[in-house]
Amino acid sequence: MAEEHADLELRPLDIDDIRSNPNAPRDCDDEEVRGGRGEATSAIFSVAMGLKRKKVISDPVRSPRKKLEEVPRPLSPSEMAILKWKRAARQALHMEDPWAMFHLERFKAERVRRYRYNALNKAWLEDEALVKMAPDPFGRGAMRECFRMKKLSSFAPAQNWAHASNYVAKRYLEPVDRTTYFDDVRLQMDAKLWAEEFNRHNPPKKVDIFQVSIIEFVERPGSPLYHMEHFIEGSYIKYNSNSGFISSQATRLTPHAFSHFTFERSGHELLVVDIQGVGDLYTDPQIHTAHGSDYGDGNLGVRGMALFFRSHTCNCVCTGLGLSPFDLAPSEKLVGTPASAIAQGAKTRLRGHEELCVGMSEYERSHWAEAFGPPKQRIRTYSSPPDFSHEHNAPPVLQQQDSGFRSLSSGSEDTLEDYSHDLELGSDSEDTETLQHQITNGHLPANGQHLNGGERPSAVPARLRRRQRYDSESSTIGDEHERAEFQRLVAQRARPSTVLDEVQLRQLARQQQGRPLHESQRSILGQIHLEMAKCHENGRFGDTTHPEGKYDQQAAVFHLEQAARCGVLEALLVLSKVHLGLPHDLLGDWTLPETDENMSKGVEYLEHAARAGDRGSMIALAKALDSGQGLGCHKQRNWQEAVMWYNLAVTTTDNDEGGEYDGCMDDPPYLLLARQAELYLEGGHGLEKDPATAGELYQEAATAATAAMKGRLANKYYQLAEEAQQEAC
């Protein structure tokens, strides 16, 4: 009997046990339950006899009292992330292979050499892998064809090809130079770095770009190269192109906001376009740079940027990130853009946690000379710059040509020097030239060799290797210090997209330098507006609202004026010629009536061009102030200003803001010096008579005429100099 009831749990009764008495009738009242006189149908005489037998499962020694159930605590963000990763891993392990029907495991296993690129330190890493690739392509585009491929993981305990990862191998249809494959990888990995910077600002939808590498089939004749990237299931969508196309079928905001973000965050130096892929996982992007000389033939430079902004309208994601809208003409806003129609049907909504992309950083406010300084030498290499030393303290991501940045000058040496010592990425020029020669001629370094320094990756010190990254990892930044340093340097270059902010930035820079800005400091935003004016004139934007043969002249003039506000010399010269009634090339059919007001505006534009360093504008303005003709209603004849501009035209030897230097054939220096001497000798119109200065100027004019092989004119100036000296005495 004792053994039969050994599993009974004896404990005091509580109110829950009484209420849950299974032997009490369902229609009984409280009095019956409490043991009243009413008849009971139970076969046992107490509630305790009706308790269910409970097995001891976990703890054989139970407390005599019932334990209260613990309330589960909420999970921390890290625990939630772990659970999500476990759930994703469980689904991935039970996911069926979409390529199982093709039986890639039956093909021959081949040993390949893989080259991976680190976009932050501009270094190539090399290792080996085993792959099986289908012999026939399954897809073909305009330039490349795709092959199905499986790659065996380096950590697999056995060669189980059934569980190997699916990859896509791509090669060009036509034979191309081997460096083209490396350029494509650098482009995509640089774009991936900008995707990480975009995600740091907490957009509603995070984005990523495929990890792409190069594989070399060393066992095949000629050692052909292929691009290799993960195969992703889903609908492949092209959101925009490098020529301004925007898909009207995919109502997405994030891809276009990402392109706009890269433009502002890079300080107008680059623009990531040609966004395409599965969802927000992109591949094969294109980068437009300000100089248009990087990243292959798809880089259309400032024209590509103009084509993008003509079709882009800022959406709620752009607003949430603090991006400023690009200035468009009123007629362009009325017509709208493809992006504005897409924004109406998009479902992306802001959460309020986005981090603003600040246009003007505190660093730029206090270090104008550094932020606007001339660029350092840009190196075309596949490793770190060969001239990277303590004198060039900028990290290679901002010093390498393919990064799309002009490097900062040496104002922040204290911080950047520590960073350069930490990375130690220097490589001598001989190794760099050898590497370029090997890649160009198809002879790559030996197996396992580190392309940046000539050592095997395993032999590199731990402080340089950081931590290893494999295909499953999407980030290209290996260390928090490197990440913070990259973000700080990017923040220094951030610039808004509006003309008003650009004008203020350039005014502050010009005031600090006290002279025309360097050629490298020309406004990229202004160049984009100038290109938009040219595209309107050429009919590139397809102005269907205007009659055949016409274009939106109002929009073209608007962008030309915006370019002039940004200090673009070509735009200033065109506007001055139009208002002064002179012939001009750009917008040749645009004319204005000859009024004093228009003439005054023309003189104002002419003065802006002269202050920008254009020698022809200096001489034209000086002649107008000299003669008093063509000044409009706001300026009068002033010989003192005329002498100043004559002197600047003679002494100017630097290039103007457009990077040009006007020759002296039309107005040689000796003629300008002689005219200054005449004005000083005569005096008037605000200029005090000074025969002594006139004599000195005649002497300089004679010397310049002698150097120009004008002997007779030089003798004349010597004679006039003697007469002026006699008058001064």
Q: Kindly state whether residue 523 falls inside one of the protein's structural domains.
A: no
Among 385, 381, 382, 389, which Cα is nearest to 399's? 385
Count up the domains in the chain and report the number. 2
Is 148 contained in some domain?
no
718 Cβ neighbours under 8 A, 6+ residues apart:
698, 699, 702
If pLDDT is split at 50, 70 and 90, which confidence band does 500 have? very high
Q: How far is Cα 138 from Cα 82, in angstroms, rounded to an integer?
A: 37
Q: Give Cβ neighbours of residue 523 (< 8 Å, ≥ 6 apart).
A: 502, 506, 563, 566, 567, 568
Per-residue pLDDT at 411 exceeds 70: no
pLDDT at 530 > cutoff 90: yes
Q: What is the pLDDT of residue 487?
A: 67
- Say if 609 falls within a structural domain: no
In this prediction the pTM is 0.70
Structure tokens at 649: 């035209």
Tokens of 103: 């039986």
- CA–CA gap between residue 400 and residue 394 (Å, rounded): 10
Confidence check: pLDDT of 306 > 80: yes
CA 323 to chain centre: 13
Query: Is residue 392, in this structure, part of any structural domain at all?
Result: yes
Radius of gyration (C-alpha) of the chain in whole angstroms: 38
- Establish if 296 belongs to a structural domain: no
- Is residue 16 situated within a structural domain? yes
Instruction: Summarize pLDDT for 341-390 with one digit per residue, the tens.
Output: 555 555 555 555 556 555 444 444 444 334 434 333 333 333 333 333 33
What percent of the chain is modeled with pLDDT above 70? Answer: 65
Q: Which of 436, 462, 482 is the last residue of a domain?
A: 482
User: Considering the domain boundaries, does residue 437 fall inside one?
Assistant: yes
The per-residue pLDDT of the chain, averaged, comes to 76
Out of 170-174, 361-365, 537-541, least confident range: 361-365
Q: In terms of residues, how long is the chain?
A: 729
Both structure tokens of 637: 């004849």
119 within 8 A of 193, measured Cβ to Cβ:
yes
Element (H, E) at 550: none
Where is the domain boundary, 56, 75, 93?
56
pLDDT of residue 441: 43
Residue 498 lies in a domain: no
Closest to 170 measured CA to CA, from 116, 212, 223: 212
Question: End-to-end distance of the chain based on CA atoms, in angstroms?
Answer: 145
Per-residue pLDDT at 659: 56
Domain that holds residue 14: 1-56
**Taking CA 263 as the corner, what is the angle to CA 261 and CA 269, rounded to the nearest 5 degrees?**
150
Q: What is the layout of strands, in order, in the sheet containing 236-238?
A: 208-209, 281-282, 276-278, 236-238
The pLDDT tens digits for 507-516 are: 888 777 766 6
pLDDT tens-digit readout, 446-478: 444 444 433 333 333 333 333 333 343 444 445
Eight-state DSSP code of residue 253: S
Q: Are 170 and 145 in contact (CB under 8 A)?
A: yes
User: Higher pLDDT residue, 42 or 491?
Assistant: 491
* 3-state secondary structure at position 265: helix
Closest by Cα among 307, 267, 340, 259 to 501 = 267
Which of 462, 482, 502 represents a domain boundary (last residue)? 482
Whether the per-residue pLDDT at 719 is higher than 90: the answer is yes
Structure-block tokens of residue 720 = 């006039």
Residue 280 pLDDT class (50, 70, 90 cuts):
very high
Q: What is the pLDDT of residue 613?
A: 85
Distance set, CA 219 to CA 105, 110, 112, 451 (Å): 19, 7, 8, 21
Give Cα 699 distance to the centre of its chain. Answer: 55
